[in-house]
Structures are given as structure tokens and as C-alpha cells.
Amino acid sequence: MDEQVMSQREALNLALDQALAADERVLLLGEDIADPGASGPTKGLSTRYGADRVLDTPISEAAILGAAIGMAMDGFLPVAEIMIMDFIGIAADQLINNAAKLRFMTGGRVTAPITVRTQVYGGLGTGATHSQSLEAWFMHIPGLKVIVPATPRDAKGLLTSAIFDEDPCLVLETIRLQGQRGPVPLDPSFSIPLGQGEVKRPGTDVTLVTYGRGLVESLNAAAALEAEGVSAEVLDLRTLVPLDVPLLLECVSRTRRAVVVHDAIQFAGPGAEIAAMVQEELFDVLEAPVLRVGARFVPNPGSAALEAQVYPSVDRIVSAVRRTLGKPAAEVGGDV
């Protein structure tokens, strides 16, 4: 398959572009997604496909998702954008009470296979209302699929799957990963099935279970651990619902130690569910408790220096790994 190196932003753009080209039912709606104002993954698309298929909306999040649901109920495949994940609170009712539940409540007669794209900020000094990783909220809602790509290739493959999926999908695009580059298949039919994790780095001593921006810190931590003779495997879940439980259990059965890493707040975060599942299934196999490294339990501070202390860092991940190996965390100077 032909591949090209591109940024994650370009990969998302390509997925949207190819979906619009492939299927008349696909249309985009959101705030500032049309040219000349568009700067993110939708850039250029309104010029190519017209204002009819790439709709700039008023600042009306509830109506954006509600309208997407209505169109989806009548056969369209809308891709709605909530500019920054923190704004999803305004539209959450449509997502959790309409989109997620329609199929079940109507016995399968009515469905709303919308895709909601949203960007996760954080690490940019934008403060408490523009920086949250709220995926755990939506993992808790039966009927929604929750997707968090980390690499350009996965971004294209997963977004394509989400758009054509039969269920409502929430795709989290991490702003700090948008500029990262990597090879991306150009074929419009390329997609990655939802619910398949991927081992991004092999290893034998411990599994770092992660997704989204956690992948970057986990790979960096794995490199740091290698220098001290620890072989860390990095498992990128890629989708949180559906969750690749078989692969998760297979990895941890092999390494017998796991640390879950994510940018979402650690307390009651996605890692809590993952750790609990692993411990329920693999209690006899585990050499150490499954540990979690997530954001601190605090609204994100405005000061960039303080904010840097909130997110998982290589130090914190390495310390957690050392703990699972029974080594003193202090040697590395972390604070898990």
C-alpha cells in the first residue's frame, strides 16, 4: 500500500477528504471548520466540497450534535466537530441521552451513527476550562464508542472506521500530537477496525498500557528504562470502547506487570477500569499490583510551569515501573 509521511493533522484531513469523496452521505459540521477560517484538520475541505457539505455553524454545541443526530437518523453520516473537548459539556445531553441510547430504546429501529471529533488541549497554558481529557465520562455511557488515536496512521485509519461505523463514535484528537509525523497509507479503503489495540514497542518485563498522548511519554519512558536494563512493552489501546481486552490480557500475561498511563485524571480515570479488569482476570499471574500514572486530581492550572507538574512524565512512569519491579522509585527521582 502506498504510504506518505505526514502530520497527524494532515492524516485526519486526508481521512475526512476521502470520506467526503467516497460517500455523498458524509458531511461535516462545526464551528470555524470552513475556509478561510479553518486551520485544523478540516482546512481546505469546504473549498473542495462546498459549504453544502462542510457546514460552518453558529456557536451552538447542543444544536450541532442534535442536528447531526437528526441527519444520521435519516441516513446521513455526519461528522460533527466540538472544537475543544471541554465544550462538550454543553452538548453532552444530545450525546448521552439521544445518540448513545436511540438504538437500544427503539429496539434497533432508530440509530444515530454520528461521528463526533473533538480536540483535547492541555500543555498549552490555556487553563482549567480548555485542557480536559474527559474520555472516562463517555466510556461510562453504553452505546458510545470512544476512540483516541496517537499516531498519524492510526488517526486516519480509526477516523475512517468511525465515520462509516454503525454506532455513534467520539474521536479524541490530541492537539499536542497534531504536528507529529509518520507514514500514512494513502488508499481510501484503509481503515483500522475499532477495538484493536497495537503493541507499539515489544518488551518482556512490564507492559505500559496507554493511548493518546500517553503513548509518547510511554515510549520515552521505555527508552529510558532500556538504559537501566528494563524491557518495557508499550501497548496502545487506540480505542477505549470497544476495548481490546484479549490483547490487553495477552500482553500482561506475558510480562506479568502493568502500568497504565494516560493524560486523563488518574482518579476514576480510564486506568482505574483497565487496572481493575487486569487484576480480576490475571490476579494469579501478576507479580505486582497494576499501577496507574495519570494527571493529578486538580483543575488544570493556568501557569504553564504548574501545568507541567500535572501530567504524566517520563519520571513518573519510570518510577511506577520500578515500583512494580520492586526497586526503589527514588533512584529515578519520581513521585508516584
Handedness of CA 190, 142, 62, 299 (dihedral sign): negative
Grid coordinates given for 32: 470555524
Shortest CB 49 distance to another protein, Å? 17
- Of 332, 333, 336, 318, the residue nearest 232 (C-alpha): 318
Which option in ligand TPP, another protein, none does residue 310 bind, with CB closer than 5 to 8 A by kind? another protein
Q: In whole angstroms, how close is the CB of 30 to another protein at the nearest point?
A: 11
Which position among 49, 87, 138, 311 is part of the footprint of ligand TPP (CB under 6 A)? 87
Nearest to 230 by CA among 261, 260, 207: 207
Site for another protein in 36-65 (CB under 8 A): 36-39, 56-63
Q: Which residues participate in catalysis according to the annotation?
A: 130
User: How far lies 265's CA from each of 75, 121, 183, 203, in Å?
Assistant: 37, 14, 31, 26
Report the partner that residue 36 touches, choosing among ligand TPP, another protein, none (CB closer than 5 to 8 A by kind).
Answer: another protein
> In whole angstroms, what is the distance from residue 4 CA to residue 184 CA?
5
| Distance of closest approach, residue 134 Cβ to ligand TPP, in angstroms | 14
Residues that contact ligand TPP, how many (by CB under 6 A): 6
Cell numbers 453520516 correspond to: 77
Do 319 and 336 meet the contact criterion of CB atoms below 8 Å apart? yes
CB of 139 to another protein, least distance (A): 19
User: d(Cα 133, Cα 135) in Å, to the nearest integer?
Assistant: 6
Do 133 and 172 meet the contact criterion of CB atoms below 8 Å apart? yes
**Contact characters 3-32, ligand TPP, x per CB under 6 A:** ----------------------------x-
Q: Which of 83, 102, 114, 225 binds ligand TPP (CB under 6 A)?
A: 83
Kindly state the smallest distance separating residue 92's Cβ from ligand TPP, in Å.
12
Cell numbers placing 50 = 462546498
Residue placing its CB nearer to ligand TPP in the complex, 90 or 247: 90
Q: Which of another protein, ligand TPP, none lies near 273, with the C-beta cut-off 5 to 8 A by kind?
A: none
Q: Which is nearer to another protein, 61 or 135 (CB)?
A: 61
CB atoms within 10 A of CB 1: 9
* Partner touching 104 among another protein, ligand TPP, none, CB below 5 to 8 Å by kind: none
Q: Which of residues 95-154 bind another protein (CB under 8 A)?
A: 124-130
Between residue 212 and residue 231, which ones bind another protein under the rule CB under 8 A?
Answer: none
186 touches ligand TPP (CB under 6 A): no
For 75, residues 6+ apart whose C-beta sits below 8 A from its C-beta are 25
Piece in contact with ligand TPP (CB under 6 A), picked from 82-90, 148-156, 172-180, 307-315: 82-90
Q: Is 267 in the site for another protein (CB under 8 A)?
A: yes
Give min distance, CB of 90 to ligand TPP, in A: 5
Please answer whether residues 6 and 14 qualify as being in contact, where contact means their C-beta atoms are separated by less than 8 angstroms. Answer: yes
Q: Which of 157, 193, 61, 35 is nearest to 116 (CA)?
A: 61
Cα gap 239→244, rounded to integer Å: 8
333 scored as a contact of another protein (CB under 8 A): no
DSSP letter string, 198-242: EEEE--SSEEEEE-TTHHHHHHHHHHHHHHTT--EEEEE--EEES
User: Binding residues for another protein, per CB under 8 A?
Assistant: 31-32, 36-39, 56-63, 86-87, 89-90, 124-130, 266-267, 296-299, 301-306, 309-310
**Residues lying near ligand TPP in the complex (CB under 6 A):** 31, 59, 61, 83, 87, 90
